[in-house]
Copies of this chain bind each other. A is one copy, B any other.
Amino acid sequence: MTELKEQMNQWIAYIEAKLEDFIPKQEQFPPIIFEAMRYSLFAGGKRLRPMMVLAACEAVGGDREEGVPFACAMEMIHTYSLIHDDLPAMDNDDYRRGRLTNHKVFGEDMAILAGDGLLHNAMEIMADACCLNPCQKTTGAMQAIAHGAGIHGMLVGQVVDVFYEGKTLDGKTLDFIHINKTAAMICAALKAGAILGGATETVIGKFALAGEKIGVAFQILDDILDVTSTMEELGKPIHSDEKNEKKTYVDLYGIEKSREIACKLSDEAMAIWLELGESCDFLRDLTEYLTKRTY
């Protein structure tokens, strides 16, 4: 796993340098919004989604440079969703990634606008990239990301998550939340990368399927870690699901059964990477790391 960690760190450094190119400096007028947007964007996430866009693009023989605008857009959309999720009207969280949440630092008004701004910026970056080279690849990647993030993906996952706070919830509804809130974006990242790299429809479908399995497994693991980990390990408050009266996989199935389900999904995703060959080795290692981590 040391080699994987090194590869991930290289990707992270690469992505963070590119993110700098696509977001205004905070000296630009009005500074407060760019400061707020940058505060959350540069809070040290794992950059998994942009990493997946770029790695998928390379894995099918594409040029990683072509994936950069879309990878940066993915990370901005992910960050916007975290800022809005943390708001007092939503999860009302004070900490995220070991730092105060956006609204605790910049106020609720600027946090709403910083989230909006990141979503707008993602849209602009992708529109620019499509305009520079209007073709099936660029517009297809933008479409995959827009769908994964929107009202048939991440957004409705969050809606149902918020709506069911404190309410009884069945396995089907919990799956709807996980598939949409988390997996849709992972799926979109891998799909967009494969599209940009020029993969066939069949291969694009396999990337998307792997993404859905990884996404759900990753989220189940998050549910487990929320009860078994410590704040220091996670960088955010533990037992947050309980605090927010959110039912999780652990509530419905218990820790052991949840681990089994995550493990099965993880294995299925790994089998897809194996089938696609050694160009997907990094994605396979990353999948193992993400879906079997213990902290």
Contacts and interface: CB of A to CB of B under 8 A. Distances in A.
B89 A151 contact: no
Number of copies: 2
B146 A120 contact: yes
A77 to B, nearest CB: 9
A110 B90 CA distance: 9
A44 to B, nearest CB: 22
Contacts of A115: 116
Most chain B beta carbons < 10 A, residue from A34, A123, A149, A158: A123
A190 interface: no
A140 B133 CA distance: 11
Contacts of A136: 131, 134
A33 interface: yes
B30 A117 contact: no
Interface of A: 24, 29-30, 32-34, 37, 84, 87, 89-90, 107-110, 112-113, 115-117, 119-121, 123-124, 126-128, 130-131, 134-136, 138-140, 142-143, 145-147, 149-152, 155-156, 158-160, 162-163, 176
Given A89-B109, A115-B116, 20 more contacts: A34-B151, A84-B112, A89-B108, A89-B112, A90-B109, A109-B162, A113-B159, A116-B155, A117-B150, A117-B155, A119-B119, A120-B155, A121-B150, A123-B150, A127-B145, A130-B134, A130-B139, A131-B139, A134-B135, A134-B139
